[in-house]
Structure 1
Amino acid sequence: MADVVSFAQVTDLFRAFEHTAWRLETRRGYASDRKSPKWARWLNGEAVETDPDSAWLRNVREQTREGKRFERVRLVDDPPTDGQLFLLASGQGNVQAGEDIRNMYRADAERLRLPDFDFWLFDSRVVVKFHFDADDVTLGVEVIDEPAQVLAACQARDAAWHHAVRTAEFQRRVRSTV
């Protein structure tokens, strides 16, 4: 494994990028979600769409006001896992803050041969690849600027973005099958 650093060591990228911060989310759930107070509220049937005071949403609003884009594609199983249903429910707050979040079924991602790992792609120049343990805990990230790997991430982004569905539409589709 290449050099892995803590996620905290790359958070400056979420302000320093010039044009686009794009993410592929492939996990069936995230330990950080399950440990959050929002998860407990969601399990109790409470609305979790908005959390306007979160540092993440404040930064998204700030960056998108400057004309930058936050985009992500989330892979979803059929049927969705609890972790994926939570992200569908809570994702609307991110969308309201300015993120463009889209979703696609895992089977479609596999047909497209998308990567099976999470990453952020900044300005089509830097990839931040996540490393997780078996319990979905983030172990750290790998910062990659090697051209072939960045190109592969750009190609994955383009394919995923073309086939993914906006969150609101995807939520309607999921609700109709659950």
Structure 2
Amino acid sequence: MPLIPFEEITHLFADFEHTAFRLETRRGYASDRQGARFQAFMRGVLPEPEPDHPWNVNVRAKAERGARFSRVRIIDEPPTDGQRFLMATAAGNVAAGEDIRVLTRAEAVRLHLPDYDLWLFDSRTLVRMHIDDTDTTIGVELVDDPAEVLAACHARDTAWQVAVPTAEVWTQVRSSV
């Protein structure tokens, strides 16, 4: 499958009917590191929730219509700066209606979860993220092969059963820093 720009699939975040699930496998993302919130976080400033951010506005709107956003973030032990930042910002997403959980990398390996980021919409549309060595998204792949979609559904269900709500892990991580 050819790579397409991420912008070409953004309509899926508004168009899905029931569920949008993300598996995050990276130790950090270039887009986060380039932002002012990340830079402030690295100086010890905790990120404030952004309820009016378009992402959170959409999550709330979809939740009001009964749809669900969820994600599992794979984290290292100890978490990287990028992973700590994602845990610190999760509260705003959760307040908007997203369910975000974390799973250790060791557990993800034990469970044979994919080692790439993905989005899964309504258990039928799989978007495989292609991210380079600098943690920059270089494109996405729309996957329509039923076996790959089913494998992503299995990975989601497997990860979800053992993942822990981000807030619980963030409390432990914060207290150790």
TM range (shorter): over 0.9
Structure 2 match to 1:72: 71
Structure 2 match to 1:62: 61
Letter in 1 for 2:64: R
2:30 is equivalent to residue 31 of structure 1: yes
Q: Which runs of 5 or more structure 2 residues have no equivalent in the other structure?
A: none
8 A Cα contact 1:49 1:92, kept in partner = no
Secondary structure, aligned partner of 2:167: helix
Structure 1 match to 2:113: 114
Secondary structure, aligned partner of 1:170: helix
Q: Which runs of 5 or more structure 1 residues have no equivalent in the other structure?
A: none
Query: C-alpha displacement at 1:177, in angstroms?
Result: 4.6
Structure 2 match to 1:93: 92
Query: C-alpha displacement at 1:8, in angstroms?
Result: 0.3
8 A Cα contact 1:49 1:91, kept in partner = no
Query: C-alpha displacement at 1:40, in angstroms?
Result: 1.6
Runs of 4+ residues deviating >3 angstroms: 175-178
Structure 1 match to 2:172: 173
Query: C-alpha displacement at 1:41, in angstroms?
Result: 1.9
For residues 28 and 171 of structure 1, the distance between their equivalents in structure 2, rounded to whole angstroms, comes to: 16
Alignment of 1:92-171 (within 5 A): 92-171=91-170
Letter in 2 for 1:110: V
Cα distance per residue 1:15-53 (max 9 Å; x no partner): 100100000000000001011121122122222140122
Secondary structure, aligned partner of 1:64: helix
Structure-2-length-normalised TM-score: 0.96
Letter in 1 for 2:131: F
Identity %: 56
Secondary structure, aligned partner of 1:174: helix
Secondary structure, aligned partner of 1:117: coil
What is the aligned residue count? Answer: 177
